[in-house]
Every structure is written in C-alpha cells, then in structure tokens.
Amino acid sequence: MNFILLINGTYIVAAVLFIYGLKLLTSPVTARRGNLLSAVGMFLAVVVTLLNEEIIDYRWMLIGIAIGGIIGGLFARLVQMTQMPEMVALFNGSGGLASLLVGWGAYHVMPLAGLFVMTTVFLAVLIGGVTFSGSLIAWGKLSERIPGRPMLFRGQTLLNGVLVIVILIGGSLFLSAPETSYPIFLGIILLSLVLGVMVVIPIGGADMPVVISLLNSYSGIAACAAGLAITNNILIVAGAFVGASGIILTNVMCKAMNRSLYNVLFGGFGAVTKGAAAEVGGEVKAISAQDTYYILEAASAVAFVPGYGLAVSQAQHVLKELGDLLEERGIEVSYAIHPVAGRMPGHMNVLLAEADVPYEKLIEMEQINRRIANIDVCVIIGANDIVNPAAREDTNSSIYGMPIIEVDRSKTVIVLKRSMAPGFAGIDNSLFYKENSRMLFGDAKGSIGEIVAEFKNV
C-alpha cells in the first residue's frame, strides 16, 4: 500500500512539473527552464514506475537510463538547428512506436482483458503505427532523403478510404474475440503502418510544418490510449497534454498556412491541383555590402525578417551585432517573425534568443504588417516563401492565400540570399523582381559581417 502511495504521489509531482514546464515554454526567456522541469518530471515518473521489480529489475532500468541519456546527450550536442524539424519528426515517430509496442505488449500480457482494455490496445497500436510510419516519411521529406513534393497517384483517396474501412472491420473482429484473433491483430499493426505512409506522402512543400504538429498530437493520443490499456495514470496525463497541445498547435499552424483543420485531418491539403502559376520574371537588382550600409545608415526604421537561411549560416549573433550598431545610431530595429519561419513554429524565436535578442523586439506577423508601410528597410535573411507576394497576388500559386509578411509594402527591401533558388515550397519568388527590392548575394553570415565592418570603419 505504501509503495502504491509513493508511485501515485510521484505521479502527481510529475504532472505538476509537466504543467508548470508547459507554462514556462510560452516565453523564450523561461523556455529552457520549462523544458528541464518537464524532463525532470518524466524522469521521476519513469523511475518510480520501474522501481516495481515485477515490471523490470534494476539492472535493466539502469541500462535503459544510460543508453537513453547518451543518445539524448548526443542529439542535443550534434543536431544542428536546421535539423530540428526533422528531429521533432523522429521524436514523434519514437513516441508512436513506443505506444504501439506498449499496446502490443499489453495484448500479450492480458489477452483475456475486457472490451475497454482491448479497445485501448487497438487504438494504441493503430494511432501509434500511423504516427510512427507517417513521422518517418515526414522526416525523409524534411531532410530531403526522399522527394519533398507531393506524391500522388490515381485512386489514392479511394485507397486510403479502403484502408481505413478494412482497419475498422479488422478492429471489430479483433474486439469480438481478442484471445483468438492474433493474426488479425498483426494485420491491424501492418495496415496502420501502411496508412501512416499513405496519409503523409501526398503532402509536401510548405505544408510539412502542419504535418509535424499534427503527428505530434497523434503521438500524444497514442500514448494516452497506451496508458489506458495498462492503467498507468501518468502516461494518460502526459499523453493527454501532448495530444491537446499538439491539436492547439495544429490549429495555430493551419491559420498560419491558411489551411483548414478539416483538410489536415483528412489529408486533403498539399495535394491541391491548381492552374499554371503566373510566370515570374523581371530584372534582378544586385547590391553590394557597402551600398547596403548606405541604405541602412540613412534609415530611421529597419525590420529584419529571418528565415531558414539564417539558421543554415548561423548568422544570428552577427545579426544581433548589426542590430545593436543600428540602434546606437538611433535607428528603430525590430525582428519580424512568421509563425512557420525556418520550417518550424518558434524556430526563429529560439535562434534569436540564443543571440540575446530582446524578446520584446520580436514582432509577430500581424503586428508588423500593420506598420510595415512605415518601415524604411526590410532586410530578408534567408526567408523565401513567407515573404513571397505570390501568396497574395497569384491565385494559381500553390501558396496562394497563405498569410505572409508583406515586406514588399515597405520602402526598400534587401534580400540576403545565396542564389535565386526557390524556397521550400519549390516556387519562384516575385519579390526578387520588385522595383523596391535589392539582392545581396552570398552567405548570410559573411554578408552581414561585411555590413558590420562598414559600420565600424566609419
């Protein structure tokens, strides 16, 4: 009895740490502490659960902690900021696989359990399997190991519908006689993995961040189902937190990408066929670092718009230095942040916080758009799709209707970019040819460094 009280008491402490940790994640200033507190809560929950020797002995527990700690430490040190979206996809997939295995194990331990338990087992393996295989496809697309474009074929929607119907029929047969339906159970696992692949392959380009947040929610729902299957309170609580927060984030992402939640849930986005997009052309006006200095030095308000290229070049620190030099000259400096800049929500917030950019200088898209006409210079650092006017001007564009930072309405636009290559959505950017746009070609870190040198040499 005392041992049960210890476990449940620790679970309560862990749940409190989860809630407080999530609260701290709402600000870059406290996010690291929130992440640490949540990790401590999960560590306590895992350890107190495994202290029951009926589950596992101490040797295996210590081995698991050591292996997990080493892998986590290596990921934290070696994974680059630009690889974080695909890393999150792998984390989601790992959570889905874990839930699938827990459900599978629960079936072996309790094949004669009641209808409720077997239903949660069915849900755990189904949602876990979809999450695992879908996350692997998302990882492959984001890391460009497989083509990022939508993969479509005739009858794809019909096939997905048939898969869902077959899984539901198989689930009904399994639940009617679980102790004699092991082959059906294995078939459900296999079909769930196939369904995960089929749901994600039609999605590509700029829609992938929405998929990541949705799969994150799926991993939480699968964990919650697994917790119900084995009657583990903290797994139910943690899964519910992840599932709910993932759905909220998915909704935020849908609004940022101008997609409906219905289309996300039923796989109808990223595969929309449009007419031919308008041809992008005109004269590109290149500019030097010295000329960029003259334009910035004469400005009274400058807005930086960071994107994936900022993370690639690791230019956040030199950008902060440039911002400080501008402010020393009385120039108003702000950082315009799009919800999906850098292919992941909050990516740019974290990157700029790393360089000690004050949080109050990070301006959300809606706010900056309201005052962008009064900004003298918008400096685009590695962003592409999130500033592409085609989202507003070209009804046939694949990103038409997507909210963007409307930098083309500012007085002058300076784009820092390596080349004229398209962004993640795979379409040309008409911003580069606008009359008020100038292109500063080269690595962002090097280009900004040259501008900083011009300021210091005065």
pLDDT the model gives residue 57: 65
Across 342-363, average pLDDT: 82
Across 100-115, average pLDDT: 87
Percent of the chain with pLDDT strictly greater than 70: 90
- CATH class of domain segment(s) 289-456: alpha beta
Q: What are phi and psi of 267, to 5 degrees?
A: 65, 25
Look over the chain and give the mean of its residue pLDDT values, rounded to a whole number.
85
Name the least confident of 28-32, 174-178, 408-412. Answer: 28-32
pLDDT the model gives residue 179: 86
- Domain regions of the chain by residue span: 1-78, 83-273, 289-456
**What is the set of active-site residues?**
385
Q: Does the pLDDT value for residue 101 go beyond 90?
A: yes
Q: Does the pLDDT value for residue 1 go beyond 70?
A: no
Q: Does the pLDDT value for residue 250 go beyond 70?
A: yes
- Put simply, whether the predicted model's pTM sits higher than 0.95 gets the answer no
Q: How confident is the model at residue 295 (pLDDT cuts 50, 70, 90)?
A: very high
Closest by Cα among 430, 383, 440 to 408? 430
Q: Does the pLDDT value for residue 271 go beyond 60?
A: no
Q: How confident is the model at residue 6 (pLDDT cuts 50, 70, 90)?
A: confident
pLDDT the model gives residue 427: 80
User: For residue range 126-165, what is the model confidence (pLDDT) as tens digits?
Assistant: 999 999 999 999 888 888 788 777 777 788 888 888 999 9
pLDDT the model gives residue 121: 94
